[in-house]
Amino acid sequence: MNTSKKAIALDKDFVQAHNNYGVYLSQTKRYREAAEQFEIAGATLGYEGRIGALENLGRTYLQLGDNSAASKAFLRALDGNRNSIIAHIELVDLLLDQQRVPQAQRLYDETLILVQGQGISPRLLLQGIKLAAAQNNITTRQQLAQQLLSAYPLSDEAKQLKTWLNNPEAPWK
């Protein structure tokens, strides 16, 4: 028996054990069960790891293909901590998928402020490229594409960009 599951059996109010057990369940691809555990941890006000549990909940819902529930979880994480970089990044992608470009742009801009001085990840660069393309901002799109391809040429994001550049009418994958 998993130690977190044992801890829950001994004390169902031990919130950290619910989060830890959710992580274990996610790692074993038992996403529905993991979501239940993250929901318990994320709903517990005063729990120090609550925001992380909500981020985990959102990512778990993404694994389950439930984008609506994922969005709600990430929004709850932002309500608890406006500086949640994970929630920002995930919500930008979800908003882009919904073609809600102005909202995605606002969150993307906030994310850039939050990561200032830490360097920009390939995922953020690709998000910026998608936003620039959606707004027909060719200059920004080209600058970010060049930055992505030169800094992270072997990344999955660079591969996605190359595929899209070969067929700009195709949807992003």
Helices assigned H by DSSP within 64-100 = 67-80, 85-97
In a domain, 119, yes or no: no
| Structural domains in the chain (count) | 1
Between CA 55 and CA 35 the distance in angstroms is 11
Q: Which residues contact 162 (CB under 8 A, 6 or more apart)?
A: 149
Question: Per residue in 69-109, pLDDT tens?
Answer: 999 999 999 999 999 999 999 999 999 999 999 999 999 99
Instruction: Give the tokens for residue 134.
Output: 């959606």
Tell whether the model's pLDDT for residue 7 goes beyond 60: no
Percent of the chain with pLDDT strictly greater than 90: 78
Residues of the domain holding 55: 1-81
What's 30's domain CATH number?
1.25.40.10
